[in-house]
A and B are shown apart, each in its own frame.
Chain A
């Protein structure tokens, strides 16, 4: 080897390095104001993955990520284990400090924020006996989650979680009365939400009947924020539960209305709250919702779809009415004697056995579009099949709307919002509440008068909205009806024959209350 060989080697190395740097430059060139940068930069931009697009850039977070030299996954695992240990040993200050470190290392991992915020607000808060300390830790969880929204801008899920924590965690637990009061008095929290998060805590739309911000109305604003963050291209996934995602916002208005009624605002405040809730609920009904099977549907369109199904059916029958009648006659002949007798009776008069036979008969008499079209002459068949296909599509939409309505108990809440806007309803509730108070204070005469006044109003309500009998409303009155019954027993009387809510008593006697039944219809689930 000659004396020049080290020099040649160095030249080769440098050339190789230069050569390798070129593709690296092409791939990794950062973007600038005038250029979109290399391939990686462009990909990052198009998928919205750059730090600036994801959320605030925190120098501490970035420094910590760099300082771990690519071992942040390991570091986070160790910290997570440490956090679990601190939780177990009830060292909550250190736990909280460790969570901060974890999120500084993994600021864009949404599950970390969600999991640990839940841990703080739900698990750790319950470790404390003093409800004020519990509230304090609930708030810590909320603040933790809000921090997460800074690092993960416009992520609907995390924004919705903030709303959910402020609404449900403050408004539904056992200590909700105390929590709601603490929230209403928490001026510093309101100010920080207003100044730092842009939540309108001091405007009319956040203020409850006491004139202070209400947790349900503040949570509504976070839900609004989360809905605003849903981008039309659907890049920020909502998961499969679109319906539940969009239900939370209007539901929070119902929860607000229920809460203030429970707190005694059975006046215009309560009715106004239900009016607003009804608007929100109706808005939900008009929103196009994507169902898990991929069909998009509006819940309020259910009647349109059902009518369309009926119309298409009638059109098909109208194409060859004689064939339809012919099939009908054939089917009727197929019915057994017992089935014919059962069908001849009015539904209310049928025995159990006859009901079953009538059901079987109806099944036999049902003529599907396909069965009908099969008998059509060939020249009508094509058009009929087109109509049947349209009917089938509409039927699918009707089923989807029905499924959505069932999932969120749409009809019940719609009717409830409608009823509760009536002065009659708030008066009826007020009357029952007052009568209950008189009963508890042993002012029997006043209680009796109050109850009797209330039953008249409730009777009217049930007459106008008979469906309410089967809903949780009826259950809410159970205790009061019981009070009335025992009140009468004390004066050696029984419930009068013309008692307006006799049907309710029958229902109570049958004790149809299923196990785990929530009389609030899930509106105040714990």
Chain B
């Protein structure tokens, strides 16, 4: 799975940097908010009165409104918002969701190699879009409609503080969204579970028994567009039953095969398609063919530079430095999961996989340590691509060669892991003129498997936080804009937040074709994106400069808006990786940060409006 480098940063590393940026954003937004409020007040009441209103609002916030919020009133207002949402037929969204689910089977590729990825990706993305759309429509139209219908006076004439109005709305819409998200989550879970569940029978014509090995083998029936090979060794008894398995992994799962007392074989439910692996990532650097350290490896000519390559049968190596390796996490040995790409410069043995080797090495050996004991003897493996393959390095597998050439055992935690719990894992390609490709996330230590359904819930937490952010922005914009404009403004924050990466790519030239003006010109004049513009230098310069200014301002705005894709952990769930608590903590802090800022800004805007005065 492709992992964004920012995910390797822990919460503790991220927080100090983030809090500083946050302080700057807060200052900027508060200034902008106050400025806007002041401007509105000036237009309505004149400058002197405006200063008075703003000052009264600021002092009022700190002395009264900001600190004397009544939870009872907030809940009462939230209930109103919920009732209003129900009145506005919010359940239609759920209806759309159910309708899409009903027909999803028609649109999904039932023969996909990784149905779990496809199903999960589909249902979670659908939930995400629907909940965001719901949050946007509910939050943006609510207050403006109340103001338009004058129903706001039934609230504003009561002793209700502006912050309570803001939070009441926000809480109400979040409650509606949360309930909907929970129901969607349950429906999605059932859909995925049902979609992936299937049973096979033993294909009787293929069943075979090897009396020498005492092994039953054969093929399963073809169900759900696939079949498996299986084997059961009569000597493998687990829990009093003779257990075998299907092999190799097909469509990301296996089945347990049980030999019954009446000699019949029973094939169990699929296992492994829904999982939440907990990876421990290391820091990656490379050694070139002379053995010198490099930040990146070779480029074999691929346009996508996410992975770097090492050359076979040279001193080239990819080195991962893992931290926190101790006996409590890995009592029996290290479980490495790898997805190594292969690039052949010659055909070689077509049927043979390219061999590689793993070397575990102490990154900071003690000065008096025996040099021979600082690295283990190479552990061979064969590269497999596009799927995480496991290599277990047992504690008794680790050997070193002493001066007499004899192989002697090594102790992983005493000899190879340094005092800070760090360990280096070297990977080399052993075949000449062939290459291995890798990125930082392609090799990791697998600590354990967490509950898939807990991971599924964590992913929904990410969706929930996105929904909260949209509600916050929607309600905030609705405090001073009309419904449709507030909706558009909220949509703009979503779009800018979603496509901030794209904006940066267009600005940097990574995405060819130029900014809006240039691409419009190219489109209308049918000029390719990579050719030079067929206009005079002056026109081209004007076009490019205008685009640059526009893109810079867009980037400036989007830089201060929530980066929605960052909250999107759908890929992790779909690919079977646990969502780390570092990521969740980071997202929660960001959401809370926006909550504080938008609440304060919303308060000031409401404070300056007539109905609240």
Q: Which A residues are within 8 Å of any B CB, using their own CB? A: 59-60, 63-64, 88-94, 96-97, 100-101, 104, 128-131, 133, 136, 143, 174-175, 178, 188
Residue B581 CB within 8 A of the other chain: no
- Interface pick from B314-322, B346-354, B358-366, B474-482: B346-354
Cβ contact within 8 Å between A101 and B106: no
- Complex contacts, A143 vs chain B, CB 8 Å: 111
Q: Which of B112-120, B278-286, B409-417, B591-599 lies on the face that meets chain A?
A: B112-120
B541 at the interface (CB under 8 A from A): no
The answer to whether A96 and B350 have CB atoms under 8 Å apart is no
Q: What's the Cα separation between A21 and B10 when bound, in Å?
A: 67
Task: Determine the distance from Cα of A88 to Cα of B111 in the docked complex, in whole angstroms.
Answer: 22
From 348 to 386 in chain B, residues with beta carbon under 8 angstroms from any chain A beta carbon are 350-351, 353-354, 383-386
- In the assembled complex, the CB of B426 is this many whole angstroms from the nearest CB of chain A, namely 21
The answer to whether the Cβ of B304 comes within 8 Å of any Cβ in the partner chain is yes
In the assembled complex, the Cα of A97 lies from the Cα of B341 at a distance in Å of 23
Q: List 10 A-B contacts (CB under 8 A).
A: A60-B107, A64-B107, A97-B108, A101-B107, A129-B344, A129-B385, A130-B353, A130-B385, A131-B351, A133-B385
Asked if B554 is at the interface (CB within 8 A of a chain A CB), the reply is: no
State whether A60 touches B386 (Cβ < 8 A). no
A120–B354 CA distance with the chains assembled, in angstroms: 24
State whether A93 touches B385 (Cβ < 8 A). no
Binding site for A on B (CB under 8 A): 2, 103, 106-109, 111-114, 117-118, 121, 222, 227, 303-304, 306, 341-342, 344, 347, 350-351, 353-354, 383-386
Q: B354–A129 contact, CB under 8 A?
A: yes
Contacting pair A129 B2 (CB below 8 A)? no
The residue on A at minimum CB distance from B350 is A175
**Could you tell me if A97 and B385 are in contact, using CB atoms closer than 8 angstroms?**
no
In the complex, residue of chain B having the shortest beta-carbon distance to the beta carbon of A136 = B113
* Assembled-state Cα–Cα distance A188/B117 (Å): 24
Query: Of B107, B118, B385, which one neighbours A128 at CB under 8 angstroms?
Result: B385
B113 contact set on A, CB distance < 8 A: 93, 136
Whether A174 contacts B350 by the Cβ 8 Å rule is yes
With a CB–CB cut-off of 8 A, which chain B residues contact A129?
341-342, 344, 353-354, 383, 385
Structural contact, A89 and B2, CB atoms closer than 8 A: yes
Closest to A191 in B: B222
Contact of A178 among B109, B121, B342, B350 (CB under 8 A): B350
In angstroms, Cα B117 to Cα A473, docked, is 52
Minimum CB–CB distance for A177 against chain B, Å = 8
Q: Could you tell me the distance between the alpha carbons of A133 and B342 in the complex, rounded to whole angstroms?
A: 13
CA–CA, A128 to B121, complex, Å? Answer: 24
**Cβ A60 vs Cβ B353 within 8 A:** no
Given contacts A59-B106, A130-B385, 11 further A-B contacts (CB under 8 A): A63-B103, A88-B303, A92-B386, A96-B109, A97-B108, A97-B112, A104-B107, A129-B341, A174-B347, A178-B351, A188-B227
Q: Give the docked Cα–Cα distance between A174 and B349 (Å).
A: 11
- A89/B306 in contact, CB under 8 A: yes
CA distance A94 to B108 in the complex (A): 11
Please measure, in the bound complex, the distance between the C-alpha atom of A91 and the C-alpha atom of B571, giving whole angstroms. Answer: 12
A159 to B335 CA separation, bound complex (whole angstroms): 49
Looking at the complex, which one of A94, A104, A131 makes contact with B350 (CB distance below 8 Å)? Answer: A131
Cα of A456 to Cα of B110 in the assembled complex, Å: 60
How far apart are B345's CB and chain A's nearest CB, in angstroms? 12
Q: B residues within 8 A CB of A91?
A: 2
How many whole Å from A524's CB to the nearest CB in chain B?
15
Minimal Cβ-Cβ distance residue in B for A174: B347
A133→B108 CA distance, assembly (Å): 22
How many Å lie between the Cα of A90 and that of B354 in the bound state? 20
CB closest residue in chain B, given A179: B350
Smallest Cβ distance from A184 to chain B, in angstroms?
16
